Amino acid sequence: MGDKHHLDDSSDFTSEDEGTEDYRRGGYHAIRIGDTFNAGRYVVQSKLGWGHFSTVWLAWDIKHSRYVALKVQKSAQHYTEAAMDEITILQQIAEGDPDDKKCVVKLLDHFKHSGPNGQHVCMVFEYLGDNLLTLIKYSDYRGLPIAMVKEICFHILVGLDYLHKQLSIIHTDLKPENILLLSMIDPSKDPRKSGAQLILPNSKDKMVLESSGVKDTKMLNGDLVMNHKKKIKRKAKQAAHGCFEKEVSEGVEGNPETSGAVESSPNASSTRATSSAGTSRLSDADGTKLKEQGNKRGSRSMRQKLLASVDLKCKLVDFGNACWTYKQFTNDIQTRQYRCPEVILGSKYSTSADLWSFACICFELATGDVLFDPHSGDNFDRDEIGNGWINANICAKGMYDYLWTHALNSDETHQGIERHCDFESRNMTSECNQYQIKGIIRLE
């Protein structure tokens, strides 16, 4: 399964669309609003996001009268194989959680769809809400109250405990964009609550509108239907050229799977840029981008009210890079800001890799800032390594142990991350006993 990169919405590399280059044989399937899938069962309503492997769409499930997230994979063989691996994992997850209590996204359906660019594997997921990165943005990157952080962390740990102990599954790409709330922070942006109009095909394959609260299809007057058709055609043309604007939520490729122009859908993998997330967040803090983002989410007082009333139940999403403890696909896992020491050093990894990412997420939720702000290249400083020590076992087995030796020679290494957090003077050993970290973040 392929590695997904972490995009920041302020990066020079960030784009609100996937571009046109990969709309070719073996690439994306061109989708228009109103298109139907799986013998007409799923009707596309709007675009949720995109990733390097797929695009993700809000769709209406005619059979069960519900919104779903439709993920359409690229058609090349290696993307198809990756999708089938993902489906195997998702089916295992669903079978072990019939009561839907394990805080992990549910795969509802999967099928193949043939188009001009090839045959595409499609996955249908339950439609969820905003991702945790969006939640952090609503706090203006100031962090959430500790009580909220603890509640969110409880749900994340329920999901990880289920994956690790019962299924031996490693997520391998845990980050705020891949943890989704069950609903939108702003109810007016949630199509399930806002009374948004449905786009449905009638028997003559013409587009008509239906209020989400009404069961019978209603034909509108000719002028309104014609205007709506023009709007659909305009948006469909934009979508086909990769320029379709975000319609449901911001900040996901995450996404997905998710979760924004990057995917924030339940199954889309969301990607931030490999450039410094910390730098962009500082620019937000000093007002450069914050004003613009604030306008998108209303006034600060409105954002605070929405945060105070948000439902913090959440689920883990995007298993496009997941594997089993006994069957791993690659050593190149995890988004850089959440990458654990054993992976950095090229050593063996297991479920503890997810716990490292989880701890980074806890810090980010509480402070609004990333715990580690790494950069690409061979030069490492305190943000790459942190304050602590890794036992000789992991260093000896790592392919990149010379990087650790280099880091230990840095004068800044031992200063570590004390500038960020408060530590307790005790050791914490990972569940696989692969690494030890001096101190843990104190949340109480």
CA–CA separation, 207 vs 289, rounded Å?
Answer: 39
Structure tokens given for 236 = 């469909």
Q: How far is CA 324 from CA 168, 176, 316, in A?
A: 6, 22, 16
Reading the block at residue 225, the tokens are 């239907």
Q: How far is CA 378 from CA 137, 275, 381, 405, in A?
A: 31, 15, 10, 12
Token pair for 144: 């959430």
Closest CA to 45 of 194, 203, 253, 254: 194
65/317 Cα distance (integer angstroms): 23
Prior bond to 257 cis, omega within 30?
Answer: yes
Burial of 89 (C-beta count, 10 Å sphere; 0-12/13-18/19+): buried
Establish whether 332 is a catalytic residue.
no
Taking the CB of residue 227, how many other CB atoms lie within 10 A of it? 11
Asked if residues 338 and 356 have their Cβ atoms less than 8 Å apart, the reply is yes
Q: What does the DSSP 8-state code read for residue 100?
A: S
DSSP 313-372: -EEE---TT-EETTB---S--S-GGG--HHHHTT----THHHHHHHHHHHHHHHHSS-S-
Q: Considering the candidates 9, 61, 173, 318, report the single residue annotated as catalytic.
A: 173
d(CA 412, CA 392): 21
Please indicate if the annotation marks 71 as binding a ligand. yes
Q: Which two tokens stand for residue 384?
A: 């790459």
What SS3 state is found at 435? coil
Rounded distance between C-alpha atoms, residue 210 and residue 197, angstroms: 5
Q: Which residues are documented as binding site?
A: 71
Q: Which residues are documented as binding site for ATP?
A: 71
Known catalytic residues?
173
